[in-house]
Amino acid sequence: MEKNHPVEMGILLLDHYDEMADLLKQSFRLAGFTGPVLVLEDKGFLPSDVLSVFRWFCQDVSSKPTKTYRWMHAGWQVGNPRYFNQIELPDYWEISGNNNGAEIHDLHHLRGRIFYAPPRHRRLVSEVDWLNEDGIVRCTDHYDDHGILYARTIFNRTGKRFCRSWFDGAGHECVVENYVTGDIIVNRHHKTFVYKNRTAFAIEMLHELKADGQCIFYNSLSTPLFISESFSSKNLLFWQEGARNDIPGNMQMILKGQSYTSKIYVQDQASWQKLVELGASKEWLQPFGFIYPFVRKNQRRPHILICTNSDQIEELEFLVTHLSQMVFHIAAITEMSSRLLAFGKYPHVKLYPTVKTEVVDDLFQICDYYFDINHGDEILSSVKRAFLNDQLILGFTNTIHRRRYIAKEHIFSDAKELCALASDTEKLPAALDRQKKAAMSEDVEAYRALFDHI
Asked whether residue 79 is assigned to any structural domain, the reply reads yes
Residues 252 and 361 in one domain: no
CA distance 438 to 408: 8
Pick the last residue of a domain from 287, 312, 329.
287
Pick the last residue of a domain from 254, 287, 320.
287
> Which amino acid is located at 86 in the chain?
Q
Asked whether residue 295 is assigned to any structural domain, the reply reads no
Confidence of residue 282 (pLDDT cuts 50, 70, 90): confident
Asked whether residue 380 is assigned to any structural domain, the reply reads yes
Q: How do residues 30-83 score in pLDDT, each as one tens digit?
A: 999 998 999 998 888 999 999 999 999 998 654 454 455 554 546 788 889 999
Asked whether residue 262 is assigned to any structural domain, the reply reads yes
Residues 165 and 235 in one domain: no
DSSP of 295-306 = -------SEEEE
Q: In CATH, what number is assigned to the domain containing residue 322?
A: 3.40.50.2000
pTM over 0.75: yes
Asked whether residue 54 is assigned to any structural domain, the reply reads no
Q: Report pLDDT for 7.
A: 38
Q: Report pLDDT for 91.
A: 87
Residues 213 and 189 in one domain: no
Residues 363 and 409 in one domain: yes
Q: Report pLDDT for 1.
A: 36
Residues 230 and 335 in one domain: no
DSSP of 90-123 = -TT-EEEE-SS-EEEEETTEEEEEEEEPSSGGG-
Pick the last residue of a domain from 287, 318, 337.
287
Q: Report pLDDT for 169.
A: 83
Asked whether residue 56 is assigned to any structural domain, the reply reads no
Phi, psi of 22 (to 5 degrees): -65, -40
Q: Are strands 149-155 and 392-396 parallel, antiparallel or unpaired?
A: unpaired
Residues 344 and 415 in one domain: yes
Asked whether residue 403 is assigned to any structural domain, the reply reads yes
Surface-to-core class of residue 297, CB atoms within 10 Å of its CB (0-12 exposed, 13-18 middle, 19+ buried):
exposed
Q: Report pLDDT for 60.
A: 62
- Number of residues in the chain: 454
Predicted confidence (pLDDT) at residue 212 exceeds the cutoff of 90: no
Q: Determine the structural domain holding residue 27 and report its residue range.
A: 6-36+209-287
For the chain, the domain total comes to 3
Asked whether residue 449 is assigned to any structural domain, the reply reads no
CB 235 within 8 A of CB 261: yes
Q: How do residues 298-332 score in pLDDT, each as one tens digit?
A: 999 999 999 999 999 999 999 999 999 999 999 99
Q: How do residues 118-157 score in pLDDT, each as one tens digit?
A: 888 899 999 999 999 989 999 999 999 999 999 999 999 8
Residues 120 and 78 in one domain: yes
Please report, for residues 152, 162, 175, 199, 228, the alpha-carbon distance to residue 202 in angstroms, rounded to integers and kept in the order given: 20, 21, 13, 5, 10
